[in-house]
Amino acid sequence: MPIVKLGEEGRWTNYHCTGTCDAATRFALRSGDAPRGRDEIAIAAKSVQDWLVEAAAAKRRVRPLGAGWSPSNVNISSQSWLLHTRRFNRCFRINADDVRPGIDAGALMLVEAGALVDEVSDKLEEQGRSLWTSGAGNGQTFAGAAATGTHGSMIAAGGIQDHIRAVQIVTPGGIHWVEPDVGVMSDAFIAATGSAPLRDDAMFAAVQLPVGALGIVTALVVESVPKFLVRPIQNLRKVDCAALDWLAEGDFRRFSAAYALDQDPDFVQMIVNPYKPFKRPAMLRFLYREPWRDDYPRATPGQLGAGYDALSLLGRFLNDYPWARGALLQFAMKQGYASGPDVDAPPVYGSWGEGLDTHRPLADLFNASVTIDRADLAHVFEMVCAVYARHGGSTVVTLRFMERAQGLLAPARFAHNAVIDFDGPRSQRTADAYARVLERLDAEGVAFTRHWAKSCRLDALRVAADYGEDFRRWRAAQRRLLPDPADRALFGSEVLDGLGLTC
């Protein structure tokens, strides 16, 4: 049986040491050695279904845990059964006769739910393929990153869940293979996975981003693109306030020409000290996509600029000496910024996966985010900086850009999105400053959403208001998958109940 118990009831703490499950009983779902992926996930899915029935009989709620990555408490559920999927992580090629007519099998891979983004990326690159977006790190499980709407970072792409083309999801009442209306995998393949096919656009849009409340995701079909190179440019530059208007308008070429290369960038990031943001240098990062070639000089993740968001340095000083916050934060930015190549340095290149790195645990780091319509950027940015200048808080402000993401509960729900991250030392002062930012956004009528896996200060009323009809469609899909209220409650937790996702 691929599920094993990991000891008696006890305490579990997430990867970043920001949340703890008390009185939790831990189990692990582990990969087997079946030669075909469909056979392996059939065995695993049946074991998960049996485990869910046992949990319900024991009157214990359940929580799937991948890498335990989320800095928020979205993955925390005390007095529950926790299912670790991290060792359920094999990836399998898909053959031409496994898919429906017109589907490119070579672009797809079958992924067990515990595989890390890094592992999926590596497997694809071995096949000459690539992901086209992901978050800043790669230590999450692919299923977990998708389940919480990890926002991605490529200007013309959405979230990481946009790669998903089919999902196997297990409930006490069934093993479901969910795809869009047009279908992806053959009926014979789906039958071999032990699943019942469910081809439905609305259901698929729900399970692309389930927030852990629709069942246990056991497998995914992930789409890829041909491998490509990226050239990073990274520097410290003072940014003129007029440049915010260029970004708001989507004129990334103009912004790039002013601060890096006169080319269309595929990725733009600006990390800003909110204290005098236009008088102090911002940390800028650009990626330029180029066709793949095998003879490029290899570079390390550090040389490619990975690790650029490790800004917890000097956190204690930032809190202890608030009168010097602006200067200290600027020093921390400069010291903590990876030494990526600037315009005048010899160019370096790498694949998309090579430019990512796994974070060290962020126990002392406050991590929050809002996503807005890109057109509101200039106004919102200046408002955010004014809040910090007046009320304190020791976070940097990071700007990234992306298109609308797939999934009914995707935070990147505007046609063109600006994602504003707030990273700094974990303290009450920092949390209070972020709360004031949210209050100002509401007071000025700015539409925005928040990242499910970060500090988000959400409740059920706000979730329903933010996502509107899409939330109602998500709830309708949940009731189809889990018609019994007891089954919906099985996947709940104090956090998810408070968000209105499990009632």
pLDDT, position 314? 44
Is residue 361 pLDDT above 90, yes or no? no
Give how many domains the chain has, as a whole number.
2
* Alpha-carbon span 214 to 112, nearest angstrom: 17
417, 479 Cβ separation under 8 angstroms = no
Tell me if residue 40 falls in helix, strand or coil: helix
- Residues 289, 334, single domain; the answer is yes
CA distance 388 to 436: 9
Q: Say how far apart CA 27 and CA 280 lie, in whole Å.
A: 50
CATH code for the domain of 39: 3.30.465.10
Mapping DSSP to helix (H, G, I), strand (E, B) and coil, where does residue 74 land? coil
Q: Are residues 304 and 411 in the same domain?
A: yes
User: Could you report the per-residue pLDDT of 229-248, keeping only the tens digit for each?
Assistant: 999 999 989 999 999 999 99
CATH at residue 445: 3.40.462.10
Residue 7 located in a structural domain: yes
Number of Cα atoms under 13 Å in the Cβ half of residue 268: 29
**Both structure tokens of 372:** 């807005």
Strand residues in 374-490 grouped as ranges (E): 396-403, 416-425, 448-450
Calculate the dihedral angle through the C-alpha atoms of 125, 128, 134, 136, rounding to the nearest 10 degrees.
50
Q: Which pLDDT belongs to residue 310?
A: 40
Within-domain flag for 425: yes
Minimum mean pLDDT range among 13-17, 108-112, 132-136, 443-447: 13-17
DSSP state of 11: E
**Do residues 212 and 277 share a domain?**
no
| Structural contact between residues 149 and 155, judged by C-beta atoms closer than 8 angstroms | no
Residue 22: inside a domain, yes or no? yes
Q: What share of the chain is helix, strand, coil (3-state, %, to 5)?
A: 35, 25, 40
Yes or no: say if 73 and 19 are a contact pair by the CB < 8 Å rule: yes
Asked whether residue 458 is assigned to any structural domain, the reply reads: no
Are both 432 and 443 inside the same structural domain? yes
Q: Check if the beta carbon of residue 35 is closer than 8 Å to that of residue 326.
A: no
Mean pLDDT calculated for residue range 69-89: 87
Same domain, 239 and 288: yes
Say yes or no: 322 and 383 in one domain.
Answer: yes
- For residue 500, report the phi and psi dihedrals to the nearest 5 degrees: 75, 25
Q: What is the pLDDT of residues 255-282, one digit of tens each?
A: 999 999 999 999 999 988 888 889 988 9
- Rounded to whole angstroms, the Cα distance separating 482 from 495 reads 19
* 479 and 444 within one domain: no
DSSP per-residue letters across 292-360: --TTSPP--TTTTTTTTT---TTHHHHHH-GGGHHHHHHHHHHHHS-----TTSPP--EETGGG-BPPP
The whole-number average pLDDT for the span 309-335 is: 54
CA angle 45, 48, 52 (to 5 degrees): 140
Structural Rg of the chain based on CA atoms: 22
Percent of the chain past pLDDT 70, that is, above it, reads 90
- The residue segments making up the domain with residue 213 are 3-226+473-498
Question: Which of 88, 217, 219, 67 lies closest to 147 in space, CA to CA?
Answer: 217
Mean pLDDT of 80-97: 96
Residues 265, 201 share a domain: no
Is the pLDDT higher at 120 or at 359? 120
Give dist(CA 121, CA 107) in Å, integer: 13
pTM of this structure: 0.92
* Residue 503 maps to a domain: no
Position 246 in a domain:
yes
Residues 264 and 137 in one domain: no
486 with 364, same domain: the answer is no
- Residues 413, 359, single domain; the answer is yes
Given phi > 0 = left and psi -120 to 50 = alpha, else beta, which region is 411? alpha
Is residue 450 helix, strand or coil?
A: strand
Average of per-residue pLDDT values in the chain: 89
Query: What is the rounded distance in angstroms from the CA atom of residue 205 to the CA atom of residue 199?
Result: 11
- Residue 467, domain member (yes or no): no
222 and 234 within one domain: no
Q: Please report whether residue 283 resides in a domain.
A: yes
pLDDT cut 90: percent of the chain above it = 68
Q: What does DSSP say about strands 267-272 and 396-403: parallel, antiparallel, or unpaired?
A: antiparallel
